[in-house]
Structure 1
Amino acid sequence: MSSTSHLLNDQTAEDYRRWVTEGVERVADKLARTETPLSGITPAELAPVVDAIDLDQPLGDPSAALDELERVYLRDAVYFHHPRYLGHLNCPVVIPAVLAEAVLSSVNSSLDTWDQSYGGTLIERRLIDWTAARIGLGDTADGVFTSGGTQSNLHAMLLARDEACRAVREASPAPLRKADILPRLRVLASECGHFSIAKSAALLGLGYEAVIPVPCDENRRMRTDALAAELDRCRDEGLVVMAVSATAGTTDFGSIDPLPRIAELCERAGTWLHVDAAYGCGLLVSNRRRHLLDGIERADSVTVDYHKSFYQPVSSSAVLVRDRSTLRHATYHADYLNPVRAAENLIPNQVDKSIQTTRRFDALKLWLTLRVMGADGVGELFDDVVDLAADAWKLLNDDPRFEVVTEPQLSTLVFRYAPAGDVSPALCDRANLRAREALAASGEAVVAGTVVDGRHHLKFTLLNPRTTLDDIAHVLDLLADHAQRYLSEQAGPERGHARAS
């Protein structure tokens, strides 16, 4: 068989239909038969299976390749659609978005220039305008789709950095090089914010040390008194706060910083305000909780991750800005791709705004979702899991076996198995770690973990509306059993050591 027979075109359309149908049927069958969110297989068990495959010897037959894929991937994949997947910020996905994945992958538009995408460019731009309107950024807003929250945050920090450099240059009586300004730049970010802000500072030549963590209160929200003090200190020391990064939905706690007061402080200081709403952006389509994002409309830039709380497949994210002119800091005109004359002729080349060149048509997933389900439908899904988290918090708070860190604003719960009696904090740490590991090894459920105030904790990230309170109660019982079994195993050696002493 000629290699050209594998190219998707008019001559192979029927092969495409047959092969994709078989693949979809296998996945659908797997989804229908999945009884646990994961198999519990270890890297040591799976790696030899993958390593044994000779990639230089093709199977030739798509059915044989799908059989092999079952062994190396589908059988042991982590299935986020399962109601007892309670781990990371991975959502089950809606069918209209999966349909869009099939369309966009097959047509394979690239969203960097108009002449590679046509309608795709206009659909993405329409969705950016729609999202900006939901945020309330105003008529001068703009933005672009990205690969995820980390890239969106990097993009925002790039714009904030160059805007700060522009302002410093304009205020200086003598010419300044950017290299002379960069060491003075600082970013103030919540100590509970996402690590990508610090990583962005490093990538932008500022160094990790340029990010100053702002303390949070007992609800893990940025303390505005501490922010005000840091803004004053930086000013007094001749430093330039290029951005304040607030969070609308922290990864660990789902906490939303007090955005109105933060916006007020930033406006007073003349500082760029970025809001990382990668998680909390689902509130934009909530009929009951949109007020939790009050103040976000005053931001200079906003990160949204549709692949978290809009139930989209990875990847689907965007960065939005209040003033579209600031996007010029990411613009580079290449003669072969987006020459200056194209901009002068109002050709809508999205690469003019992006730090990527080739880009998938990820916007199509959100487009079909909105056209089939509507924004209210997506918002209802997110409201359901926030309701579930509130009920789960009550369950945890009333359970003497566990300590819960804070009452959730969104759908994340951080807690810790806390046995009765005289158990050292270090031993309790190990029991919580072991409980999570044993649960994953069993395949019965998935929970996440994190460290709070130096101690290991467990975490539920609830994004599946099909998860019930009974599911959560069952997982809590499993965690407690695993932790208690570990403590009982440790008690024997400790008693033996005591007798020997």
Structure 2
Amino acid sequence: MRAAPPPLAGGTPGPDALRPLLDTVLDALRTGAEERGGPLPAGGPETVAHRLRHALGEALPHHGTDPHEALHTLVRTLAAGAADPAHPLCAAHLHTPPLALAAAADLAASALNPSMDSWDQAPAASALEAQVTAALAAEIHPRADRPDALVTTGGTESNQLALLLARERHGPALRTVVGANAHHSFHRAAWLLGLPEPVVVPTPHGTIDPADLHEALTTLTGPMLVAATAGTTDEGLIDPLPALADTCEAHHADLHVDAAYGGPVLFSPTHRHLLDGLDRARTVTVDLHKLGWQPAAAGLLVVRDTADLTALGHTADYLNADDDTDAGLPDLLGRSLRTTRRPDVLKTAVTLRALGRTGLGALVDACMDRAQDLADLMEKRPGLDLRARPTLTTVLFRPTDATDETVAAIRRTLLTEGRAVLGRAHADGRLWLKATLLNPHATPGDLAQLITLVEGSTHR
């Protein structure tokens, strides 16, 4: 007699099936974090891989074990071997510690498993996405008549979509102009879309100089898209958006702003002025899995006019037949280049409802304050050089008179020993250590510990 199939996560029985499994998962997460004991596992890649191989055993066994054993073993091992962004000394990348309520909402999305490619697979989720994206688009473009936003997997997809929409407006002769500070995704997107390699404007001081942009645009003919940045990956700098918008208007060029990092600063009344001019962009990239504290992925591409999205229109009879659309069923297929996609908007909607603009703004302010605190500490340490006062939450620093090889070795030593996770960035022709502070629970004491670890590694 065949055994009964394993229980499902959805439906009326789903919660009862999930509850004991969640207890197992939560216990494994706690145990794994305790075993790790720091921001990442000690020992380096080979040690971590060995532990994982030992715990996993046979990746595709002939007979399975037990749901609780499988969950506990692998979740515990993954947690023990994780780089944990919730640890205050894990500060290398734009890798945010997600809010607990957003992670809980993501569980609900997984259990319900709506597929956002047709209304009959996601009735409520499609309505929720439409309302939340409309509200977020209006936040970016408050004076536009018909702003809109698409949910994406993050900045890379959003930037690619922005170039695609521009290409569909202007044709394959479109020239893309980016700063040397721009995200690498623009070069890859131009390659994928069959566009010419982007023209790169030098950024010797970290941001685009409007005069240099004017000179670059003057040498070009035909349609142009300028990609500015609000929150560079290496230094967290913001291009002078109002002046760049003026330059683009003078040359009849479209303006896209990659605000994947800096976009959520709009939630902060204290700091939103840093994004003055953002609303003048035709398209804007925003990531809420950075300064929005969402589990990945939670990206957006915002457009000033929803008519720009008509280029994405596509029909598959089994998903959005014309007669169904004419009868009033929403057409979701033109909302993404993907077909099957998760209802990633749910966790964002829960976060917005629970915290509101003021709650998210307070989290932004907390991280901005920590960056200033770290800069203050750096300026008081005679053995450390601070690159510059931070604009957002990124701080670059290095030991005084250290070689680039020493700086790189310090970072790798801290990684291998499991003590701290710092990034690296080049500026002024030198290599710098990078702290990207996205943890609103970090304290000045945590920052002081980070400095002490760097100083200790410098003198070995």
- Asked whether the two chains share a fold, i.e. TM above 0.5, the reply is yes
Q: CA deviation at 1:44?
A: 1.4
Picking from 107, 126, 129, the partner of 2:131 is 126
Give the corresponding residue for 1:328. Answer: 310
> Does the 8 A contact of 2:102 with 2:294 survive in 1?
yes
User: For residue 73 of structure 1, what is the aligned residue in structure 2?
Assistant: 78
Shift of 1:473: 2.2
- 1:125 and 1:144 in contact (8 A); partners too: no
In the alignment, the residues of structure 2 paired with residue 28 and residue 49 of structure 1 have an alpha-carbon distance, to the nearest angstrom, of 18
Shift of 1:162: 1.2
For 1:152, the equivalent position in structure 2 comes to: 158
Distance 1:51 1:31 in 2: 19
8 Å CA contact retained: 1:385, 1:465: yes
- In structure 2, relative to structure 1, the CA distance for the partners of 1:407 and 1:200 (3 Å cut) is same
- Superposition deviation, residue 403 in structure 1: 2.2
Unmatched segments (≥5 aa) in structure 1: 166-181, 486-501
Change (3 A) 1:397 1:33: same
Match of 1:4?
5
2:445 is equivalent to residue 470 of structure 1: yes
2:192 counterpart residue number: 203
CA distance in 1, matches of 2:75, 2:82: 9
Matched residue type, 2:274: L
* CA distance in 2: counterparts of 1:330 and 1:13, whole angstroms: 38
2:24 is aligned, of 14, 22, 25, to: 22
Partner of 2:122: 117
Deviation at 1:164, TM superposition (A): 1.5
Cα 1:48/1:471, change in 2 over 3 Å: closer
Aligned twin of 2:46: 44
Q: Which runs of 4+ in 1 moved over 4 A?
A: 9-13, 28-34
Amino acid at match of 2:94: L
8 Å CA contact 2:136–2:149 kept in 1: the answer is: no
Give TM-score scaled by structure 2 length.
0.93
> Where does residue 62 of structure 1 map in the other structure?
67
Q: Give the whole-Å Cα distance in 2 for the aligned partners of 1:194 and 1:3.
A: 51
Cα displacement string for residues 54-103 of structure 1 (whole angstroms, at most 9, x for unaligned residues): 12324431221134215631211111111111111111111221111111
Equivalent AA in structure 2 for residue 114 of structure 1 = W
Q: Judge conservation of contact 2:366–2:440 (CA < 8 Å) in 1.
A: yes
Larger-Rg structure: 1
Fraction of identical pairs, as percent: 35
Cα distance change of structure 1 residues 392 and 46 upon mapping to structure 2, 3 Å threshold: closer
Give 2:275's match in structure 1, choosing from 293, 298, 302.
293
2:322 to 340, 362, 366: 340
Query: Aligned pair 1:212/2:194, yes or no?
Result: no
Distance 1:301 1:345 in 2: 31
What's the CA shift string for 1:277-301, capped at 9, x where partnerless? 1000121211211111110111100
> Which TM-score applies when normalising by structure 1?
0.86
1:94–1:13 Cα change, 3 Å: closer
2:426 to 451, 458, 476: 451
Structure 2, unaligned runs of 5 or more: none
Root-mean-square deviation over aligned CA pairs: 2.0
Q: Which string of whole-angstrom CA distances, capped at 9 and with x for unpartnered residues, describes residues 323-348 of structure 1?
A: 11111222211112122334444432
Counterpart position of 2:258: 276
Change (3 A) 1:56 1:391: closer
Where 2:319 maps in the other structure, the secondary structure is: coil
2:303 and 2:323 map into 1 onto residues whose CA distance is 25
Asked if the contact 1:144–1:350 (Cα under 8 Å) also holds between the matched residues in 2, the reply is no
Please give the alpha-carbon distance, in whole angstroms, between the structure 1 residues aligned to 2:413 and 2:94.
Answer: 21
Partner of 1:240: 223
Aligned pair partner of 1:266 in 245, 248, 269: 248
Structure 2 CA distance for partners of 1:6 and 1:42, relative to 1, 3 Å: farther
SS of the residue corresponding to residue 457 of structure 1 reads strand
Give the paired residue count: 454
